[in-house]
Amino acid sequence: MKHSLFEVWVFLASSPLLWLTVTLLAYFGATWLYRRCGATPFLIPVMTATVAIIAVLLLTDTPYPTYFEGAKFVHFLIGPATVALAVPLYSQWERLKRMWLPISVALVVGSVTAILSGMGIAWALGGSPETVLSLAPRSATMPIAMAVAERIGGLPSLAAVGVAVTGVGGAIVARGLLNLSRIDDPAVRGFAVGITAHAVGTARALQVNETAGAFSALAMGLNGIATALLMPLILKLLHWL
């Protein structure tokens, strides 16, 4: 009986549809749990679904490349989903033209703060130079953060972990911190979340308010570019000091 079940599992594991189905079921289940528990930020679907999928991979002793081969269609959809974020942003175009100066200032200040805080925390905890450099671009989106980390001498894999932790952590604490700061404007709230918590924060912002989601998407994109441009300049400045 056990041998038969093992053969069935081997057959299913080799099917690309299996891991795509597992991914979708994990996310739908995480979304149901999130809504069932009153939309608590501690159960955001991205985090819960990720934990569930990792648990399945560990229990079935499935290597990540095998999982990714089956779930790569979801990865492919990241591109169209990112482009689709321009739709709610377009509806805010007139307001964007009026706010270009504060947005520019907030972008530079936020990006520099994110870089320096990541490096400072890693250094204060005794991290190696490689670790410090890996966590510097943690507030950028993952593809940009990994590329920047590799370029400046960090570890792309560690940068990816830093990005994931930053996104989930930012999505959890952002609402409370913004409320504590008495910031009510959805545009300002969204832009702050997008700079600090990139795609995960943007997904959370879109669930709360369309305007917040639009400005979060804008901040996420601009911060990725700003991080790539500012990182070499900051490193040169720190080296000079």
Query: What digits encode the pLDDT tens for the residues 32-67?
Result: 888 888 777 777 887 888 888 889 888 888 887 777
- 214 or 92, which is more confident? 214
Mean per-residue pLDDT, 171-199? 85
User: Are 109 and 222 contacting, i.e. CB atoms less than 8 angstroms apart?
Assistant: no
What pTM value is reported for the model? 0.74
Q: Is the pLDDT of residue 108 over 50?
A: yes
Cα(24)–Cα(49) distance, integer angstroms: 9
- Predicted local distance difference test score (pLDDT) of residue 1: 46
Which sequence spans correspond to the domains of the chain?
A: 2-76, 86-240
Q: Is the pLDDT of residue 75 over 80?
A: no
What sign does the dihedral 96-98-102-108 (CA atoms) show? Answer: positive
User: For the range 43-49, what are the long-range contacts, defined as Cβ-Cβ under 8 Å and sequence gap of 24 or more?
Assistant: 44/168, 44/171, 44/172, 44/200, 44/203, 44/204, 46/167, 46/168, 46/171, 46/200, 46/203, 47/168, 47/171, 49/23
Dump the DSSP string for 210-227.
HHHHHHHHHHHHHHHHHH
Query: What counts of helices (H) and strands (E) characterise the chain?
Result: 13, 0
Q: What are the C-alpha distances in Å from 72 to residues 77, 86, 118, 137, 139?
A: 9, 24, 30, 25, 24
Q: Is the pLDDT of residue 189 over 50?
A: yes
